[in-house]
Amino acid sequence: MGPTDLVLGIETSCDETAAAVVERGAVVRSSVVSSQVALHAQYGGVVPELAGRAHLERLTGVVTEALARAGVVEPARELRAVAVTYGPGLVGSLLVGLSGAKALSMAWEVPLVGVNHLEAHLFAALLERPDLRWPLVVLLVSGGHTILVRMDGPGRYGVLGQTLDDAAGEAYDKVARYLGLGYPGGPALDRAAENGDPDAFAFPRALLAEGYDFSFSGLKTSVVRTVERHPDASTEDVAASFQQAVADVLVAKARRAVADVGASGLCLAGGVAANSLLRRAATEACTADGVAAYLPSLAMCTDNAAMVAAAGWWRLSTDGPSPLSLGAVPNLALPDLR
């Protein structure tokens, strides 16, 4: 390894302050994530102003720790680039990471590379599975996005469909909050569903057989109506039935996309890819269809900076460095090359 094969990644788009050092876009040398879950829990959701301030307080420590754990002593000499998420996300949070990355880039005289957070999630699976074969279908399901992507290689994406209203993670979070399961909602609902009956309630599977777009707002409303009508319904049963409805739709569409595209397999990405039922159902569907299922580790599903460094390494090689005038783009979309 040459001394300049390392990229420092910085991620502050939502409520995780993260930094990581990745070698050649492939080997994670360190990955540090400081979660703000405890900070936002009392409000039942992410409070943007608090998130921005917490990033500011934590970023220096997280970056220092990532460099130390990776054994980087002289960043100016050892780093090839500083990669940072510049969108999509909360503008105040993005700006903290971006300003920090620019300062480091200037001080160390190391190139800056802006990274699209959605593209970073797509790189998460590649980091753990360099043996992936193209084309692939990636189901990117997070708190802010639900996108079905055809991936022909790094940077070569076709967006097949996306949510028309709520993101899958948003639906999890809202339903969990309604059921009093606490925050963050996705993991809490996942746990509650373990002991519930997924067939207790027949919740709607919107657009199940139609195209590749998703809709989850009707499902959320249906949960509320059902609980109003059956106030003594078991929370575990409602959670299990809701989770089954979400997984059914996600897996049915992803599976159809894999067949249509002629993909080698299905890859999951984003925070909701940590969901136990989705992982099980996707694996079973892929096994039945004779295609591969690529499931990133739980740490690689949720927000982290290793995926940012990996995407940054690749972007640097194709597009070169970003200007220091790079701004935060809160509603940045995935580049669709179709």
Helices 91-108 and 48-69 cross at an angle (nearest 10°) of: 30
> Among 9, 52, 114, 143, which residue interacts with ligand KG4 (rule: CB under 6 A)?
143
Is residue 304 involved in binding Zn ion (CB under 5 A)? no
**Nearest-CA neighbor of 36 among 24, 22, 19, 48?**
48
The neighbour count for residue 45, using CB atoms within 10 Å, is 16
Q: Does 296 bind ligand KG4 (CB under 6 A)?
A: no
321 DSSP 8-state letter: P
Please answer whether residues 46 and 35 qualify as being in contact, where contact means their C-beta atoms are separated by less than 8 angstroms. Answer: no
In the complex with ligand KG4, which residue's Cβ is closer, 81 or 250? 250
Asked whether 83 and 98 are in contact (CB, 8 A), the reply is no
From the number of C-beta atoms within 10 Å of its C-beta (0-12, 13-18, 19+), residue 69 rates as middle
Q: Which stretch binds Zn ion (CB under 5 A): 1-9, 34-42, 140-148, 256-264?
A: 140-148
Calculated CA dihedral for residues 107, 113, 119, 123, nearest 10 degrees: -70
Window 123-142: residues binding ligand KG4 (CB under 6 A)? 142
CB of 270 to ligand KG4, least distance (A): 4
Beta bridge partners of residue 147, listed in sequence order = 140, 162
Site for ligand KG4 in 171-230 (CB under 6 A): 172-173, 184-187, 190
Q: How far is the CB of 73 from Zn ion (least distance, A)?
A: 31
Residue 123 binding result from Zn ion, ligand KG4, none, given CB thresholds of 5 to 8 Å by partner type: none
Judged by CB under 6 A, does residue 265 bind ligand KG4? no
Distances (CA, A) of 186 to 14, 27, 103, 142: 16, 29, 35, 10
Residue 75, binding choice from ligand KG4, Zn ion, none, Cβ under 5 to 8 Å by partner class: none
Complex with ligand KG4: residue 278 or 291, whichever CB lies closer: 278
Q: Does 302 bind ligand KG4 (CB under 6 A)?
A: yes
Q: Which is nearer to ligand KG4, 169 or 196 (CB)?
A: 169
Question: Smallest gap, in angstroms, from Cβ of residue 192 to Zn ion?
Answer: 23
Which positions lie near ligand KG4, rule CB under 6 A?
Answer: 14, 142-144, 169, 172-173, 184-187, 190, 270-272, 274-275, 302-303
